[in-house]
Structures are given as C-alpha cells and as structure tokens.
Chain A
Amino acid sequence: MSSPLAVLEAKKQQAKKNLEEIGYFSDVKIYVGMATCEIAAGSNHVMEVFQNAVKEDKSLKGVYLSQKGCAGRCNLEPTVEIYQKGKDPVKYVKVTAENAKIIIEKHIKKGEVIKEWVGK
C-alpha cells in the first residue's frame, strides 16, 4: 500500500496536468482580485472585461485568466496582476473596466507597462 505522501505526490502530478489543460503554464497570465472587498470595489466589472477579451480576442489565445483572493491592499482595489514569462510580475491597482481595456491593448498586446497605474 502506498503512503499518504505517495498518494499525494500522484495527486500533485495530476493537479499539474489539470492545470496544464486549463492553460496555467501559459506565457501570459492575468490574475484579477475577486474577494468580497475587491468585488465591492468593482473587480467583477474588470473581470468581465478580461473574460470577454480572452474569449473573443484571437490575439489573446492561450492567455491564462484566473481569479485570486485578496492580497490585503484595501485602499488600492481592484487589483490585477499580469505575469509574462521572463519578466517581473506587474501589479496594477485601482483598475477600472476602462483601464482594463487599455491594459489589454498596451501591456498585454504590446508589452508596454503603464507605470502610473502600478502599485508601489
């Protein structure tokens, strides 16, 4: 009989596979804060913008979009993180639906970080 740790290791491999299937290891990842506080600040609208973009915009194919819990920056919510392979993650704060569209266009598509919207 295999030990619980061995069972877990198998589960971890399976989890990796599952994540792979949903594009977790993609070159571009977008995380949108979706805790109650973030939603209250409007993150659901931001999420909607990203969801529509990922679904409809062919140039964003393969981009991994996920929700996340709150990191604790109440005064700066909603927050969005963009991970691009080989680069430091960029954390946008006080994102609005409008800003989200610009972030997609400028940052994700063209790689231009919009510095004034990044949290310090």
Chain B
Amino acid sequence: MEKQMFTDRFASVFGTESFFKKQKRIALKNCGLIDPENINDYIYADGYKALGTVLTKMTPKDVVETVKASGLRGRGGAGFPTGRKWELTAQQESDEKFVVCNADEGDPGAFMDRSVVEGDPHTVIEGMAIGGYAIGSSKGVVYIRAEYPLAIKRLIKAIDDARKENFLGKNILGSNFSFDIEIRYGAGAFVCGEETALIRSIEGLRGMPKSRPPFPAAKGLFGKPTLVNNVETWANISSIIVNGVDWFSSIGIDKSKGTKVFALAGKIVNTGLAEVPMGMTLREIIYDVGGGIPNGKKFKAVQTGGPSGGCLTDKMLDTKIDYESLMQAGSIMGSGGMIVIDEDSCMVNIAKFFLQFTQDESCGKCIPCREGTKRMLEILTRITDGEGKPGDIEKLEELGNVIKKASLCGLGQSAPNPVLSTIKNFREEYEEHVYQKKCRAVVCEKLITYTINDKCIGCSACRRACPVVAIKGAPKEAHSIQQELCIKCGKCFRSCKFHAIDKTSEAKEQK
C-alpha cells in the first residue's frame, strides 16, 4: 500500500484525464503535485526515504547492484546501462570522484529536465546523493543551462534546504557519508550535453568533446573518475530504491525497463510532457495520450530523438518505444523529443530545419561534422529553393554516411539522421523537389505558384500588397498575377480576404 502511495499519488489526482490514463509517472512522480520550493512537501511525500534506506541498510555495492538489476538505462539519449556506468565508476581507485548531473537540456522542443528540476528538484538531489554513496564520491556538480533561471533558482533553494536538513553536507543523516552539490551554468552550447564536452565546460574550458576512451568513468572531471547521468535518470533512482528492482523491472519491456518522458510537440492535440512505460507503441502515445492530429489532418511522420533522431512513417506507427526498436526503425530514443508531422509539412524542409540546428551547434572541432553538415545544408537549401540538381540526393546520402561514421562525438554521428531517415522514408518527396520542382506540402516558398481564382472581386488589396507590382487588374475586375515578376513572397495570399488566391506547387517541366 505504501509503495502504491509513493508513485501512484499522481494517478489519483490526474488519472481521470485521457492524457494521463496511459501514463506511468516515475521521474515526474511529484511534478505538479508538490510545492517545489518547500522541502517539507517533498519529505512528507516520502522524499529522501531512498537516501535514508540506502544509508541504513545498503552497502555501496548493494546500491550499484540494485541499479544494475533494475535495468535502468541512461535517459539522456544513448541508453547506456546506468548500473554498468555506476559499477565502472565505483571500481576506479581514486582519491576523489565526481557525480555530475547533466541538466544541459538542449534539444529544440525538449523540456523534461527543466520540468523535473522546476517541479521536483529534491528528487534529483536525492538521486545524486545516492549515486555519490554508491561510487564513493563526496562531490556532485549539476551542470545546468543558464537559460533555465527558474530551474536554477529552485535548485539553489533545494540544495540550501537539503543542506539545512542534512540531506547534503557532512555525515548525512548521522551516517559516515558526506556529499555536497555545486551548480555550474552552461552558456547555451548544445554540444555541452555531450558528457566529455560538458566536463570540459565545467573545468572552465571551451565545450568541445574529447575522444573516448578514456571514458569519464575512468578519467572525467579534472581527470578524476566521474559519473555523469542525465536529470531524468537521476530522477528515477529514488523510486527504484524505495519500490525495489522487481517493481521497476515490471514496467517496460525486454531491454528497456521503466518509463520514458516524452515532449509531445508539433501537429498533435495534446502537446505536453508525457511519461509512458517503455514498450508502448508510437500509435498509442500519439493517438491515445496525444489525442491524435488536430483539424482532421492526416498523419505523415513522427520525429523522435530531437535533432539527432529520425522521422518514422505511418507504416511504423506500431513500433514499440524502446531503445532497440526505435533504433531498428531508423530513429533513436534520444532525450525524448517527439514531434508529430502532418500532411501540411514538407519532409525536405523539416530535415533542413534540424540540420540547420546541428550545423549551428557543431562545436567546430571535427571536420566531418563542421564542414560536412554545412555542405549537406547547402545541398538541402538548394533543393528546397528549386535549384536541386540530379545527384544531389545521392550526395546527401554519401556525406551523411561519412559524417555518421567518422565524426568525433554523438552530435556529429547523429546529425545526418533527420536527412538520412527522411530520404529513406520519403525519397519521392526529395525527388519531386529535385526533378519536378514540386513541393507537395506547398511549403517550400520558391516552389510555390500563386494564382488568382474566380472568387476575386477586384478589391485590389493584393495589388497594393505586392512589393514588385506583379499583380495587374482594374478595380472591381478580376486581377491576375504575372508569374515572371512574382517573387513568391506570399504577401498577396495573406492580404486576400476572399480566398481568391491559390497557393499551389505543381510538377514543372524540366528545362
């Protein structure tokens, strides 16, 4: 009964809403239920019970074994078995070790880590303290992006309160274990979410990844063994300790245990954060949790894993959400971004959007990522501008594969994913752009033709809006657009109040 209380309090409050019915809250168990700035609220909700249990009844080795047995895997993206990471760090002989919380959430549209830190900061602190106990470290660092001022404020207060209550500091709860946490701010570089770049950034250096091995578990922060886990991973720890391995591993499937928080975005009714058990299908999360596609539009694709992930089609909607299945389908779990795309979106344009992001955020250290993504972006821009040339798609594939296989860090290795997966699943759209100069979603500006239909009443609004005087027509008579003058800015389309301007993109004959 007590176990139930601990994790299912959320369900008792929110369970009636369809959005929450299929959710299972572990990392977000307290988010939306407690006052994040009141430590009493957390303690009263059985907070720090895991830490107390660990310090009273478990050896560090027991803790590592528990996390290992739970099957928890890193929630930051790569899905490395968390217990194995803990074990590797625990095995190192060193005078000093560090525990690091990666709160440098950088994927566009992802905010699960912010939500946890803002809604339940103590659960992260508790997880880190348990991690410190398990690996023999007395020093934790939270690396959090400076763009999260409220999260930082609440975390600072939580750390202060935890110190006052002796959940941090010397001889925690009267035990021999001492542990404290410092905060370091990230300055907004996406690549600093990569653990070696993050470590360099904490050290005060430019955030650039290093080659591994050596892994941070052996040589991390200031050359000392370092355990780096993501916010969501840390937020899972206390529940595993309190509720036990069997409970945790009963949630999820095969190699992916527990839950994953997803940030639902794009063309979906219920945008928001959803924590679902691993193994749920994409269909369930999009239609049951997310409420489907708004405005009666047709589902086209879902992009998982943020800018490093791939686009999956309607044929793959029954793919299970777990690390392996998503990988097999051609995408990744990533940190949990999930963007739903409907028929109004152009896949080439979407790929370009993501590549633009990774290209901007490449640290500039390794050549494939720095130079290669730039060339890919140039080719994609060319294609969406209607200047694609035969062979461009193949060039994208060749470059994409080299960047994937030869880049230094995860950013580069995954940067081509959105492009490669859209080419794989939506090749015909690319071909239409290149060979027919057509964008079927009518998104790519340069491929659009504006024409005036018979609804035109001759109000002249479009004629006045046109910056290049491409629209002719006497007042109160039907107007027309001179295509050779039109610069496709779309001002006429937006100015027309009578739906008299059509926006189309048709196959054009090859010159």
Residue B151 is within 8 A (CB to CB) of chain A in the complex: yes
- Please tell me if the beta carbons of A7 and B33 are within 8 angstroms of each other in the complex: no
Return the contact of B111 from the options A5, A31, A37, A73 (Cβ within 8 A): A37
Query: Bound state CA distance, A8 and B43, in angstroms?
Result: 9
* One of B52-60, B308-316, B392-400 at the interface: B52-60
Majority-rule SS of A interface residues = mixed
Q: Which residues does chain B contribute within 8 Å of A35, judged by CB atoms?
A: 114-115, 118-119, 150
Binary contact readout A2-22 vs B (1 if CB under 8 angstroms, 0 otherwise)? 111111100110011011000
Q: Which of chain A's residues has its CB closest to B46's CB?
A: A12
- Please tell me if the beta carbons of B32 and A36 are within 8 angstroms of each other in the complex: no
Q: Which residues does chain B contribute within 8 Å of A89, judged by CB atoms?
A: 13
- Please tell me if the beta carbons of A11 and B18 are within 8 angstroms of each other in the complex: no
**A69 to chain B: closest CB distance in Å?**
2
**A115 to chain B: closest CB distance in Å?**
13
Residue A51 is within 8 A (CB to CB) of chain B in the complex: no
**B130 to chain A: closest CB distance in Å?**
12
Residue B299 is within 8 A (CB to CB) of chain A in the complex: no
With A74-B271, A75-B272: A69-B39 Cβ-Cβ less than 8 Å: no
- Please tell me if the beta carbons of B271 and A1 are within 8 angstroms of each other in the complex: no
- Please tell me if the beta carbons of A72 and B44 are within 8 angstroms of each other in the complex: no
With A33-B32, A69-B115: A1-B174 Cβ-Cβ less than 8 Å: yes
With A7-B52, A91-B17: A71-B32 Cβ-Cβ less than 8 Å: yes
Q: Which residues does chain A contribute within 8 Å of B55, judged by CB atoms?
A: 3-5
Residue A94 is within 8 A (CB to CB) of chain B in the complex: no
Q: Which residues does chain A contribute within 8 Å of B13, judged by CB atoms?
A: 81, 89, 91
Residue B148 is within 8 A (CB to CB) of chain A in the complex: yes
- Please tell me if the beta carbons of A8 and B44 are within 8 angstroms of each other in the complex: no
Q: Which residues does chain B contribute within 8 Å of A69, judged by CB atoms?
A: 30-32, 34, 36, 115, 118-120
Residue B278 is within 8 A (CB to CB) of chain A in the complex: no
With A4-B173, A35-B118: A68-B40 Cβ-Cβ less than 8 Å: no
Return the contact of A15 from the options B18, B19, B40, B115 (Cβ within 8 A): B40
- Please tell me if the beta carbons of A72 and B272 are within 8 angstroms of each other in the complex: yes
- Please tell me if the beta carbons of A72 and B31 are within 8 angstroms of each other in the complex: yes
Query: Bound state CA distance, A66 and B38, in angstroms?
Result: 10
Question: How many residues of A are in contact with the other chain, CB < 8 A?
Answer: 39
- Please tell me if the beta carbons of B174 and A11 are within 8 angstroms of each other in the complex: no
Query: Bound state CA distance, A11 and B39, in angstroms?
Result: 11
Q: Which of chain B's residues has its CB closest to A21's CB?
A: B40
Residue A110 is within 8 A (CB to CB) of chain B in the complex: no
Q: Which residues does chain A contribute within 8 Å of B203, judged by CB atoms?
A: none
Q: Which residues does chain A contribute within 8 Å of B38, judged by CB atoms?
A: 19, 66
Residue A70 is within 8 A (CB to CB) of chain B in the complex: yes
Query: Bound state CA distance, A75 and B340, in angstroms?
Result: 15
- Please tell me if the beta carbons of A5 and B56 are within 8 angstroms of each other in the complex: yes
Return the contact of A70 from the options B31, B48, B175, B271 (Cβ within 8 A): B31
Binary contact readout B117-157 vs A (1 if CB under 8 angstroms, 0 otherwise)? 01110000000000000000000000000001011000000
Binary contact readout B1-43 vs A (1 if CB under 8 angstroms, 0 otherwise)? 0000000000001101111000000001011111111111101
- Of the candidates B13, B30, B269, the one having the most CB atoms from chain A within 10 angstroms of its own CB is B13
Q: Which residues does chain A contribute within 8 Å of B272, judged by CB atoms?
A: 72-76
Query: Bound state CA distance, A75 and B19, in angstroms?
Result: 12
With A19-B44, A91-B17: A4-B56 Cβ-Cβ less than 8 Å: yes
Query: Bound state CA distance, A48 and B370, in angstroms?
Result: 48
Residue A119 is within 8 A (CB to CB) of chain B in the complex: yes
With A4-B175, A7-B173, A119-B17: A72-B49 Cβ-Cβ less than 8 Å: no
- Please tell me if the beta carbons of A74 and B175 are within 8 angstroms of each other in the complex: no
Binary contact readout B329-360 vs A (1 if CB under 8 angstroms, 0 otherwise)? 00000000000000000000000000000000
Return the contact of B271 from the options A24, A75, A120 (Cβ within 8 A): A75
Q: Which residues does chain A contribute within 8 Å of B269, judged by CB atoms?
A: 75
Q: Which of chain A's residues has its CB closest to B43's CB?
A: A15
Q: Which residues does chain A contribute within 8 Å of B51, judged by CB atoms?
A: 4, 8
Residue A39 is within 8 A (CB to CB) of chain B in the complex: yes
- Please tell me if the beta carbons of B118 and A19 are within 8 angstroms of each other in the complex: no
- Please tell me if the beta carbons of B52 and A5 are within 8 angstroms of each other in the complex: yes
With A12-B44, A36-B114, A36-B150: A71-B31 Cβ-Cβ less than 8 Å: yes
**B179 to chain A: closest CB distance in Å?**
13
Query: Bound state CA distance, A82 and B363, in angstroms?
Result: 48
Query: Bound state CA distance, A69 and B56, in angstroms?
Result: 31
- Please tell me if the beta carbons of A72 and B40 are within 8 angstroms of each other in the complex: no
Query: Bound state CA distance, A91 and B33, in angstroms?
Result: 12
With A8-B52, A69-B120: A74-B173 Cβ-Cβ less than 8 Å: no
Q: Which residues does chain A contribute within 8 Å of B271, judged by CB atoms?
A: 74-75
- Of the candidates A3, A6, A88, the one having the most CB atoms from chain B within 10 angstroms of its own CB is A3
**B158 to chain A: closest CB distance in Å?**
12
Closest 6 CB pairs of A and B: A69-B119, A71-B32, A72-B273, A4-B173, A8-B52, A4-B55
Residues of B whose CB lies within 8 Å of any CB of A are 13-14, 16-19, 28, 30-41, 43-44, 48-49, 51-53, 55-57, 111, 114-115, 118-120, 148, 150-151, 165-166, 172-175, 269-275
- What would be 16 A-B contacts, judged by CB atoms less than 8 Å apart? A4-B172, A7-B52, A7-B174, A8-B51, A8-B173, A15-B44, A16-B40, A33-B32, A37-B115, A68-B35, A69-B115, A71-B31, A71-B273, A72-B31, A73-B19, A91-B17
10 further contact pairs, Cβ within 8 A, besides A11-B165, A72-B272? A4-B174, A5-B173, A7-B166, A15-B43, A19-B40, A19-B44, A35-B118, A36-B150, A66-B35, A70-B118
